Chain A
Amino acid sequence: MALLPKQWRNLTPQQRETRDFYLMILPWLIGFVLFTGGPVIYSFIISLTNWTGMNTRDWVGLQNYVELFTVDPLFGTVLANTFIYGTVSVLLGVIAALGIALLMNQKVPGISIFRAIYYLPSVTSGIAIAIMWGWMFNPRSGLVNAVLALFGITGPTWFTSSQWAMPGLILVSLWGIGPNMIILLAGLQGIPQHLYDAARIDGANRWQEFTNVTLPMLSPVLFYVTVISLIGSFQIFENVLVLTNGGPGTATRVLVFDLYQNAFVNSRMGYASAQAWILCVVIMVMTWLMFRISRRMVHYEHGA
């Protein structure tokens, strides 16, 4: 910071902090203006047109938004599907990732092999793994129903059943918890051992240790994992495309699938952009709510 002009150096501590903040985020800010902001604004403008994605583009104002909420018979279903997939897969996914991260944090020999195995489905290239899921959830010969059969349960037909296609997609998402597991594992490393020692001296049992030390100390990372998963799962697309194609009927038609269909199959890019902005607002509201709630539940070292 020594290279800065002189008048920048005689600042109050708060002014200095503000200056430092903007200097620190400057690379991101420049990138935002240069690379991200433009396309984002452009996509919003497009949502106010009837652009086909090709040569026809007329201004239609809010017509796309109006049509989505009043005419489009699918949009309600699509929003509901997205919401169900988004919330349930995040809830189950975060709990599962936390459980596995705790397990993988145990100091027993050979645990690093297990860590790699749990991570394996997440590192496999998207298209190959998506095809794998189709084979895993095969109603008659797939692994999932074979496991269910061990418990005497006749497995459903999964992706060809309106009732089970969505649960199937949610189950598939659980295989992809590798990154969350790693992030949580890194978070667990940051919890000072002396807190556990202190808890033990106070006579806490394992569960109390977990609720009184692990959870609060892990809460910033847990919060991160939840928000990021939510942003991702509300935009699920590839697995839907390969596994169910949005069906049967409209049972797994989620928003980004519908949007892709409009943008590149139905030649309605303007309409698709309007859908994208509604999705953006939905996720934004949910994120904001989570930040509000987190103020009471997430434990930071700093009241920022």
Chain B
Amino acid sequence: MANKRKLHFSRTLQVTLIAIFALLVTGQVFAQDPITLTLALHWEPSFQPTQEAFDQAFMERHPDIRIEVIYNTWGDHNAIVPTWAAAGELPDIVYTHGSRATPWAAGGICANLDSYIEATPEFDVAGIFPVALAQYQYQGSQYALPYDHGVILLGYNKDLFDAAGMAYPDETWTMDDLREAALALSIPGQQWGFGGYYNGISLAGEGGVSFLGPWGGASFNETEDVLLFDTEGSRAGLEFWYSLMAEGAIPNAADVASMGGGQIMYTGMDAMWAMPSWETPAFHDNAGFAWDVAPWPTGPAGRVTGAFGSGFCITTQSENPDAAWLYLSEYLSKEGMEFMWGSTGRGSPARQTAYQSWIDSELAPEHASYYLDALANYTVNGRPFQSVTGPEIMDVINQNQTLLNAGEISIDQFIANVMEQSAPIFAREQ
């Protein structure tokens, strides 16, 4: 009896083992293990469904790939990615802000994409604005690819212009026209002709290009190892804007704080302001007035405005770089950009061919095509973005800019301070 049961048991075991083995073998042959791709970004909750829809469609096109998205917060993404890197746990693809492109390429977080781009002509890298591509190039190679490249134009409050019976800004405007209109539309302490760029006058990054460039000035030289605030052009630009502030046409730091800090643009108390394309969704939601955009006015040295953007890179720790490239090449294709950022109005796409979808979107302003025109004709990337010491120098500029905007130092002191305080930082890296 006992023996029989034993026999019975061992036969059952045998059959089971064979069955399991057969399953394993056939499983290996017939069902390819799906590859899991991880993607880290920081979309806020309202934009999450768009991402999920794209991934769903992608997985239907490629059943052998599974997409997992890691949702960071905007404020902490840049600290978390290096943390992953140090532990060897980087996801396959990470969101890469323009300011992180060089540090992450130099720091071995982002992988060189040149060979992939070369091997995939249908990706049409030439269709991406060259100025946008340049942001992510390090030592002559492409380390990340942009999805959005934002440009600063002149935003204006139609209601205030209408109330004053003045003509809207247009492509004929020079900086002198801006000055005249700004003064005419200012009511001391209550309304500002020109609201500036977020917290007032901005002198570094993309703001530095728009605020100094029209006079031939700039914050940095091409190689970003010399500051140019003491040049004639920069000084002329500084004097133009700060004289407007002195005349009450541009809010000083205290005014900006009174109006709710960086959100001053939404209060409807600025007649004009520096309007980056990435702010258009927020304006659509928050502005309780009619508004539109015009080209950035021409200065004595011509027409030029600043741009900055964000992209994605494949990490050096990705175990499936080929699949990651497949994803990225579809995500950042014409159709991908149209689906994600163009038609949703979320961001102005970095591709010429995808741009129209954004211009047509509900969130873009009436004259959104001026952004395309700017990108094609007079856009320069905000500096610094390609040097290791850039962020530190930027910090020095910002510190002094807050003092200048608060009226605590003069233009001359500002120039002297930034030149002096940046010198040891430049020196350290040489």
Contacts and interface: CB of A to CB of B under 8 A. Distances in A.
A53 B107 contact: yes
A267 interface: yes
B406 A162 contact: yes
B45 interface: no
Interface in B348-404: 388, 391-392, 395, 398-400, 402-403
B408 interface: yes
Contacts of B406: 157, 160-162, 248
A159 B257 contact: yes
Interface stretch (B77-85, B113-121, B214-222): B77-85
Contact of B399 (A138, A141, A247): A247
B187 interface: no
B395 A265 contact: yes
B402 A139 contact: no
A247 B402 contact: yes
Contact of B402 (A56, A134, A248, A260): A248
Contact of B109 (A54, A73, A127, A249): A54
A264 B406 CA distance: 28
B82 A248 contact: no
A276 B107 CA distance: 22
Given A139-B257, A160-B253, A54 B399 contact: no
Which of A159, A253, A260 counts the most B-chain CB atoms under 10 A from its CB? A159
B257 A54 contact: no
Contacts of A53: 82, 86, 107
Given A54-B104, A138-B260, A248 B253 contact: yes
B392 to A, nearest CB: 5
Given A55-B108, A248-B402, A267-B388, A160 B256 contact: yes
A264 B99 CA distance: 12
A98 to B, nearest CB: 33
A71 B309 CA distance: 34
| Size class of the contact patch on chain B | 20 to 34
A73 B107 contact: no
Contacts of B3: none
A62 B254 CA distance: 43
Nearest to B417: A249
A39 to B, nearest CB: 12
Contact of B257 (A56, A71, A160, A263): A160
B281 to A, nearest CB: 19
Which of A127, A134, A159, A247 counts the most B-chain CB atoms under 10 A from its CB? A247
A73 B256 CA distance: 29
Given A73-B424, A157-B254, A264-B82, A249 B260 contact: no
A190 B103 CA distance: 56
A interface SS class: loop
A158 interface: yes
A223 to B, nearest CB: 35
A248 B79 CA distance: 24
A71 B256 CA distance: 35
Which of B85, B109, B399 counts the most A-chain CB atoms under 10 A from its CB? B399
A266 interface: yes
Contacts of A134: 260-261
B231 interface: no
A52 interface: yes
Nearest to A57: B86
Given A53-B82, A54-B104, A73-B421, A249 B403 contact: yes
Contact of A162 (B106, B108, B398, B408): B408
A250 interface: yes
A52 B402 contact: no
A178 interface: no
Interface in A260-283: 260-261, 263-267, 269
B395 to A, nearest CB: 6
A160 B254 contact: yes
A93 interface: no
Nearest to A264: B79
B400 A249 contact: yes
Contact of B107 (A54, A157, A159): A54
A140 interface: yes
Interface of A: 52-56, 71, 73, 127, 134-135, 138-141, 157-162, 245-250, 253, 260-261, 263-267, 269
5 contacts: A71-B424, A73-B424, A158-B257, A160-B406, A267-B391
Given A54-B85, A247-B398, A265-B78, 15 more contacts: A53-B86, A73-B421, A127-B75, A134-B260, A138-B260, A157-B257, A160-B405, A247-B399, A248-B253, A248-B403, A248-B405, A248-B408, A249-B403, A264-B79, A269-B82
